[in-house]
Amino acid sequence: MTARPPVPADATVPARPLFAAGEIRRRVREIADEIAAAHPGGVVLVAVLKGALPFLADLVRRLEVPVEVDFLAISAYEPDSGRVRLVKDLDTDLAGRDVVLVEDIVDTGLTLGYLLGELSRREPASLEVCALLDKTARRILPTEVHYRGFEIPDVFVLGYGLDFAGRYRNLDRLVIGDVDVLTLDPDAYVADLYRAPPTHAENGTGAPGSGAAGHVNPGESG
Ligand code: IMP
Ligand code: MG
């Protein structure tokens, strides 16, 4: 591995666009059609909180077969270690069901490997993976992704569910951020990516909180 040049993180460099909302919408439709074609009798979608939420919400509305949804949440112990644990389990019994695990992004594949092991023990009739984004070049654990939105290079992505320290999940598009910049200041891209809330003078009422269409809630991490 080559050493990084000692270039200071430059927060003035904006996040770069990756996929626009319209491009994501079109691709999600195509994936929904693929899943429906493979499962005409219906399917159980298991989504991994929190990142898969926008993807799942758009996917289910395009699926023209009966769908049940359920959620699980995991907590990572260390980055890239693959040592994760379930912090929220499913309510649904997967035995004998056709299951599609819905993920925002597959990076090293370690998280997915853990989840597939966990879910296959419940003896579903079938178990497939649907991921919006796939960083195949970063894969450590080979894992099959049956339905893939976009294959992307080794970049750090924000938006449409993906976060840094809980920020940026609610963007309707995907952008590329710089991890060094974000590590120094997790809010570095907030002013650039969100519409600034109007000042009291601009919103015309003088009342705090009114007309705050672009208000940013940094949310919690995870
Ligand atoms: P893996 O176990 O390395 O495949 O990690 C997958 C998890 O890492 C994803 O579910 C995300 O939570 C997180 N992750 C990986 N790449 C990115 C990214 O580019 N942006 C935001 N989160 C990411
Ligand atoms: Mg995830």
Confidence band of 84 (pLDDT split at 50, 70, 90): confident
Distance CA 179, CA 64 (A): 39
* pLDDT, tens digit, 9 for 90 and up, residues 120-156: 999 999 999 999 999 999 999 999 999 999 999 999 9
Q: How is residue 151 written in tokens?
A: 């294959």
Residue 222 is predicted with a pLDDT of 38
Task: Give, in order, the Cα–Cα distances in Å from 173 to each of 18, 146, 167.
Answer: 8, 23, 14
- Ligand 1, pocket-test mutation among 71, 83, 87, 107, most atoms within 8 A of CB: 107
pLDDT at 29 over 60: yes
Task: Tell me the whole-structure pTM to 2 decimals.
Answer: 0.85
Radius of gyration of the chain (CA): 19
Nearest to 73 by CA among 89, 84, 54, 52: 89
CB-ligand 1 contact for 157 (6 Å cutoff): yes
Distance CA 133, CA 157 (A): 9
Nearest to 69 by CA among 45, 52, 93: 45
Question: What would the mean pLDDT of 17-35 be, rounded to a whole number?
Answer: 98
CB-ligand 1 contact for 162 (6 Å cutoff): yes
Listing DSSP states for 136-157 in one string gives GGG-SS----SEEEEE--S-EE
Ligand 1 atom, smallest distance to 48 CA: 10
Alpha carbon nearest to ligand 1 atom 10, residue? 105
pLDDT at 32 over 50: yes
CB-ligand 1 contact for 110 (6 Å cutoff): yes
pLDDT at 197 over 80: no
Distance CA 102, CA 132 (A): 8
Question: What would the mean pLDDT of 96-107 be, rounded to a whole number?
Answer: 98
